[in-house]
Amino acid sequence: MSDTAGRPLGSGSQNRSERLTRLSPQQRALFEERLRGHGSAGRERPDAAPVPRRDRDTPAPLSAGQERLWFLEQLAPGHSMYNEYVALRLTGSLDVTALDTALRDLTVRHEALRTVVGLVGQTPVQRVLEPAESVMRIMELHDEPADGLDSTERELARQEAARPFDLEQDRLFRALLIRSGPQRALLVVVNHHMVGDAWSRSILVDDLCAAYRSFHDKRLAPRPLALQYADWAAWQRDRTDDEQLSAPWPTGVGSWTEPRNCWTWQRTVRGRRNRRIAADSCVSPWTRN
């Protein structure tokens, strides 16, 4: 199973290596310093504490960034402005059952992908639902359309990416598999910006590939994460107020222009596979990826 460039699905590490080669020497040195867990003097929060697991029996609050997106959705509901998607060309023999199971396993591993947003009183909260039986629809193209397969697949992918989410009713993650032949398919994965962004997309694809290989080879799937995004959102709300959420770090501290709670999230989950799996307060709703 490979992508449109002929690479084995799951070659995200190669893409990251290519991006690293484009960094300047100064950027590369800073990146490597952060990977080692070191930083310039003054970057560590003296009051930093581990993020605790929230009470699973009660809905979790939205993070500041999620609440901003929820508010904008209330102003203009029923549109797809905040949909995020990736389309993967799959070639070769495809184990559809393993792929379907792997996509479902993503929602087991990352609770944010099976989250809905509702109201408790006048306050929006996130509710984590039980994993659905399947998150993937399959569409078969038996005869080659007059306009050709590529244009038809692109249009179907566009329609799927543009289909809005109902925040209160829909899990904010779904997939469509468009099959146009025994050795050819297009996988379209869509999520709301509340639960994913450009950073999380490569992690999502990497986790999907790892789970696909595990289920295809009849091996154990990756374990669910101990720390979920809703845990951090609850921790953030417990420790910060509105003024703190919007205050940037002083020059030379944190990530320069990022809000300090976003910087804290990055520092807290360094090395964890679920970093940036959901939008946080440094994600601008006006940034399109």
Give the chain as a 3 state SS string: CECCCCCECCCHHHHHHHHHHCCCHHHHHHHHHHHCCCCCCCCCCCCCCCCCCCCCCCCEECCHHHHHHHHHHHHCCCCCCCEEEEEEEEECCCCHHHHHHHHHHHHHHCHHHHEEEEEECCEEEEEECCCCCCCEEEEECCCCCCCCHHHHHHHHHHHHHHCCCCCCCCCCEEEEEEEEECCEEEEEEEEEHHHCCHHHHHHHHHHHHHHHHHHHCCCCCCCCCCCCHHHHHHHHHHHCCHHHHHCECCCCCCCCCCEHHHHHHHHHCCCCCCCCCCCCCCCCCCCCC
pTM above 0.95, yes or no: no
Query: Using 50, 70 and 90 to split pLDDT, how confident is the model at 145?
Result: low
Domain residue ranges of the chain, discontinuous segments joined by +: 12-24+57-268
Going by C-beta distance under 8 Å and a sequence separation of 6 or more, which residues neighbour residue 264? 45, 48, 236
68-125 pLDDT, tens digit per residue, is 999 999 998 888 999 999 999 999 999 999 999 999 999 999 999 999 999 999 999 9
Mean pLDDT of 9-34: 63
Q: What is the mean pLDDT of the chain?
A: 76
Across 206-234, average pLDDT: 90
Of the pLDDT bands very low, low, confident and very high (cuts 50, 70, 90), residue 165 is very high
8: pLDDT strictly greater than 80: no
Where does the pLDDT of residue 248 fall: very low under 50, low under 70, confident under 90, or very high at 90 and above? low
- The pLDDT of residue 225 is 84
Average pLDDT over every residue of 237-254: 58
Q: Which CATH number fits domain 12-24+57-268: 3.30.70.100, 3.30.559.10, 3.30.390.10, 1.10.443.10?
A: 3.30.559.10
**pLDDT tens digits, residue range 188-216?**
999 999 999 888 888 899 999 999 999 99
pLDDT of residue 238: 84
